Structure 1
Amino acid sequence: MIPLTAGNTRVKEARKLHRRSVRTERRCFLADGPKAVEGALGTVLASGQDCVVEVFATPAAASEYADLLGAAPLTLVDDRAMSGLSDSVSPAGLVAVCRFLDAPQPTAPRLLTICADVRDPGNAGTVIRTTDAAGGDAVVLAGDSVDPYNPKTIRATVGSLFHLPVGVERDAAAAVRAAQAAGLTVLAADGAGEVELFTPAADELLARPTAWLFGNEAWGLPDELAALADHRVRIPILGAAESLNLATAAAVCLYASARAMMNG
């Protein structure tokens, strides 16, 4: 098989999926790198279709990851074509064109993460990965949050995007109300919260089915959105640091919930 070049029509059409508007129109996205491709190849959609439409690989990557690719629909491309398909500084040589996942939200979740106006793809991807690691059931990217199919978001999930449902809700308040309607106690992570994590009062709350609500990286949660939560919970700052970043705060809160559930 002769590798396709950057000027090939199929390569150029796939490259357009770097744009959110094109992803939304075609309902396809790019999964970049071996971990993302592995997760995509192991995913079958609710419709019965395979998640992966096509895998582009350089000859060197196709040889290196031959066991992973197996019977995948494989197309070889040259290095220049791959550099246009991948947004990584050092491409691994594997990019898959995937169908939107459209995984249904769980009917009886125990642990849910709601991200409101989280705009950094690395942060969003890390929160998805952390929710997965902590045994969470789903993530909702609410308000003006980053696209879950942004290539940087997908890479930061390290495959977790394919392990649990990730929903999008433009109305952050509606996401909070939907969680409450599903029987979840909504806890807003807030540095000025009335409940301190790692206290008996917090432990009592965490024993219930919970939705954690996290805000924007720079300005946190708007007061009107935090007010919709059932409780505001603060992480104690024991040293001189002003605060924790979003991904770290989410990890602390989600694992506190995981611990409570394990002990419950």
Structure 2
Amino acid sequence: MRRLRTYCLDALEKRAGELTPERQEAATAALAAWGEPEFFPAGLKQHAHNVTLPNHMSLLRAWRSMEEGGAFIGQSEAEYTTLILESIKAVFAVRLHIGIQPLHSMTLLSPPLILAEPAFFRHIYPRMKPAGLLADKVVAKALRTLQTQKTLCNETTEEFIKELQGSPQAQALIAERRHELDTLTLAVGLKAAQTCSAVMRLSPGVNHVFPALSVYAVNIRSNKMEARLKTRRLFEKIQSDLKQAVGCLLYTS
């Protein structure tokens, strides 16, 4: 907030001439009366991980403070799920506490929950061939690992870690993936913070339902009766695959 106030003061000083005298006076008075809102405890530890960062952004936007939690490395998928659900419940608690106010007639209350999961490299899955950078087996293996990831909790071998350390190209690929993930996480967090929405980060397994969605789309748009008759079964398979990918705990919460 201090940085925002400094920016506003600087902008007013440099561009005051673009405002009418009345607006200059109003802006000057508002900046002079600028105060820091009081933070309220959210009852949550602020673990450093991208699966909860969007919810932390929503909480901070609502002036909720969190205890320092340090970096988080889960030992199982259930631990990641529990962490995500705890942060979601903290955001829901804020929404419940605030309720519906007169100001909501001019702003958005929805969505209460945003489902998010990045689909990295989806557009180039079919076209990757062992040529160029991918002629390096370590690079190809690193890309394939990212493409086939189905859970938030992943294990790798000591041998593969050593291979990565010896391949600058593979390290660059992993760094690019991390950069894309950071960009998406912050974008989703900004969107969520605008409406104090909670974000449920889904398992990467949901991306692997894409082929079934494509088959369903082809059949439901077909003019052939036999193709359209398949759609119910295909839709049920999609629902089953998504339920399995998301996990029972997130699905029932």
For the aligned pair, the TM-score class normalised by the smaller chain equals under 0.3
**Structure with larger Rg:** 2
TM-score by length of 2: 0.24
Question: Which structure features the higher share of strand residues?
Answer: 1
Alignment TM-score, normalising by the size of structure 1: 0.23
* Higher relative helix content: 2
